[in-house]
Each structure stands twice: as C-alpha cells, then as structure tokens.
C-alpha cells in the first residue's frame, strides 16, 4: 500500500517541514533529497499520502504538511532515536553533577532538558509511594507540637507540623522516634499505612493519644498525598507561530498541575520513550503540541516521568535522544545520593 518511496517521501516531508516550518512542495523535495524521480511522480505519491491522511495542504496551491497521523507513522516506523553527541553527554553530566538536593536535581533537569531540546521541559517529582523510608525524625517545637520529618531513599524530605492533644516529654519523643524508625525504615511508602495500623499496640497506653496523632499525620499527609508535583521550564522556547490559537492556551495547560499530571500519567510504559502527538493528548489546548516522555528513577525501577513538550512540528529523533539520555543520568544521580 505504501511502498518504500512513498515512505521516503513522507519522511522527507516531515524532515523538511520540521526544519523550515513551511509547507513543502514536490519540487523542493526532489531538490533537497536525492530522490531519483521527477516532481510529478512525487506529486502522485503525495496525492496518495494525502488520501491516506498522512499529509494535508493548508490551501489548494500550497505544499503539504504532515498530519498528526503522519508524524505518528514517522516516529513509529521512519525514524529512530538520535543519540546525543559526546559533548552533549558530557554537558549533561557536569550540569547535573553539582546538584545538592532533590529540588536542585529537578530544577537542573528542567533547565537542562529545555536547553538541550529548545522546547518546554516537564519533570515530575519522584513519586513518594514507590520510594522507601530512610529515616524519620521527630523534633519537639513546643509543648504540644512536633515537627515530623520523613526522608526517603530518593532524597526527598517531607515535613509536617503535628499538633498533639496532650503535652509530651522528651523521653516519649525519643521512644516514639525509635519505634517509628525501627518499624518503618526501609519500608516502601506504599506499605507504610499497613505497618502503622499495627503500631498503637506497641505504644504504652499513656502515650497512645499523642502517638496516634503522629501516626495519622504520617498516613494522611505523607502516604495518601500522592499529589506528585510537576514542574516545567523553558516556556520561552515556545514560538507563537506554531500554536495557532496563541501561547495562552498552552501556558494555561502547563500551569495547571492537574492537567500536567494527567498528561504525564497517560503516557504508557515507563521504560521506553513515549511520544504523544497532537490530539493524542487528551488535553484541550495541547491539541497542537506533542509530548515526548520517559520514566526515570534510582535503580532499575522508574519512579516518575520527565519529558519535553513542543509543537507537533518537533524534531522527534533528537528530542527522544535527549529525553532518554537525561532520564538515564538523572537516574544515576538519584541512585548515588
């Protein structure tokens, strides 16, 4: 149905349109790529490609531009992932090396990805529920107030003030801290709730009210709250020309945590680089945007997603390469710390 040359034509159209932004015509195609046929032949091929829905003409006497479906075919069958250059890889490494805490890692990753791809970068904070408890700390703030700090193996630090029903002595705090660490250290956060359910029995009756307050805060705030943050950067890379209805829509979507979360959540397998093109994003306002994402995380298991967002007219092979490489390096950094 689509012979090799037609595929080559589609590939050429995508490449030219991505680099120029102008609809591409049959003559330009044979000139720039060495297809050994005449423009007329290409026109026939293009007619077929258009009929099949891979390309369209913005108006009668213009060249063709790829449709979402055309890009889809391109990324699925006509292009691979373009590896980064050595210089780029070194740049990533040195850029991420200096990070001193999780916030910083995420911020740097965003800047890095945005700069590397000249698109908008999107990075999700490593999910709490898949990481494990490294340490729990209780700090007395006042007579009936504790600061609870939970440290995960991904370097994430969560904190919360706990208001106690009764006053508490230093000694009790120490005991409680020891109990928590003994029982929770190394546990996956997803399992914490179950473990905590059994804890009250192991607390002296007199301390149970206070302990219960602490327990419930842990469960409510740290475990149930899987409100995983997503940050973005590189909005300055958005070019108004690529978004017919203006940047407004896109910026609005990006600033809406919930939308971003859903966007990332939808993307399939964490282990590979996923591409969502145009209307495949079920988000109003990102109909003319594409999203290239993958999972990343410490160790072999992916904890969260990162990627880039740009116009459908995007250099997919390069973007995919950058996303994959950055994800790997970030994973390494997280594993080390």
Count of residues interacting with a copy of itself (CB under 8 A): 32
What x-and-dash track marks residues 88-117 binding a copy of itself by CB under 8 A? ------------xx----------------
| Residue among 40 and 139 whose Cβ is closer to DNA | 40
* Among the listed residues 173, 193, 219, 251, the single contact to a copy of itself using CB under 8 A: 251
255 binds a copy of itself (CB under 8 A): yes
* Among the listed residues 34, 61, 94, 244, the single contact to DNA using CB under 7 A: 61
70 binds DNA (CB under 7 A): no
| Residue among 37 and 251 whose Cβ is closer to DNA | 37
- Of these partners, DNA, a copy of itself, none, which one is at the site of residue 161 (CB under 5 to 8 Å by kind)? a copy of itself
Between the alpha carbon of residue 267 and those of residues 60, 95, 190, the distances in Å are 36, 27, 22
| Nearest distance, CB of residue 66 and DNA, angstroms | 13
* Among the listed residues 5, 32, 160, 208, the single contact to DNA using CB under 7 A: 5
Residues across the chain: 337
Which segment (20-28, 87-95, 155-163, 278-286) binds DNA by CB under 7 A? Answer: 20-28
| Nearest distance, CB of residue 161 and DNA, angstroms | 57
Pick from 337, 317, 329, 313: which is nearest to 19 by CA?
313
247 binds a copy of itself (CB under 8 A): yes
Query: What residues contact residue 239 under an 8 Å CB cut-off, 6+ apart?
Result: 311
- Of these partners, a copy of itself, DNA, none, which one is at the site of residue 252 (CB under 5 to 8 Å by kind)? a copy of itself
Query: What residues contact residue 53 under an 8 Å CB cut-off, 6+ apart?
Result: 67, 69, 70
* Among the listed residues 2, 7, 8, 37, the single contact to DNA using CB under 7 A: 37
143 binds a copy of itself (CB under 8 A): no
Which segment (60-68, 252-260, 287-295, 327-335) binds DNA by CB under 7 A? Answer: 60-68
Pick from 3, 5, 45, 52: which is nearest to 25 by CA?
45
252 binds a copy of itself (CB under 8 A): yes
- Contacting residues toward DNA, per CB under 7 A: 5, 22-28, 36-41, 43-44, 46-47, 50, 57, 59-64
């Amino acid at each position: 149905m689509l012979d090799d040359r037609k595929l080559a034509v589609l590939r050429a159209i995508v490449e030219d349109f991505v680099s120029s932004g102008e609809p591409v015509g049959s003559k330009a195609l044979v000139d720039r790529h060495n297809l050994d046929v005449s423009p007329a032949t290409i026109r026939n091929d293009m007619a077929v490609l258009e009929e099949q829905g891979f390309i369209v003409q913005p108006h009668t006497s213009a060249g063709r531009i790829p449709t979402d479906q055309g890009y889809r075919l391109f990324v699925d069958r006509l292009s691979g992932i373009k590896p980064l250059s050595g210089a780029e890889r070194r740049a990533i490494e040195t850029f991420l090396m200096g990070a001193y805490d999780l916030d910083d890692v995420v911020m740097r990753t965003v800047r890095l990805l945005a700069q590397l791809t000249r698109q908008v970068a999107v990075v999700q904070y490593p999910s709490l529920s898949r990481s494990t408890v490294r340490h729990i700390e209780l700090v007395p703030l006042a007579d009936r107030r504790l600061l609870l700090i939970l440290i995960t193996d991904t370097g994430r630090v969560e904190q919360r003030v706990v208001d106690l029903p009764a006053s508490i002595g230093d000694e009790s705090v120490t005991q409680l801290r020891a109990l928590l660490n003994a029982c929770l250290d190394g546990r996956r956060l997803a399992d914490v709730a179950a473990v905590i359910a059994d804890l009250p029995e192991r607390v002296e009756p007199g301390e149970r009210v206070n302990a219960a307050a602490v327990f419930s805060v842990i469960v409510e705030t740290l475990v149930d709250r899987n409100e995983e943050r997503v940050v973005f950067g590189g909005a300055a890379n958005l070019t108004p020309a690529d978004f017919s209805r203006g940047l407004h829509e896109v910026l609005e979507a990006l600033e809406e945590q919930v939308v971003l979360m859903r966007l990332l959540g939808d993307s399939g397998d964490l282990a590979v680089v996923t591409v969502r093109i145009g209307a495949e994003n079920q988000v109003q306002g990102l109909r003319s945007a594409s999203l290239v994402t993958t999972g990343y995380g410490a160790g072999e298991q992916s904890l969260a997603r990162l990627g880039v967002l740009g116009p459908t007219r995007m250099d997919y092979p390069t973007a995919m390469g950058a996303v994959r490489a950055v994800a790997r390096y970030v994973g390494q950094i997280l594993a080390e710390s």
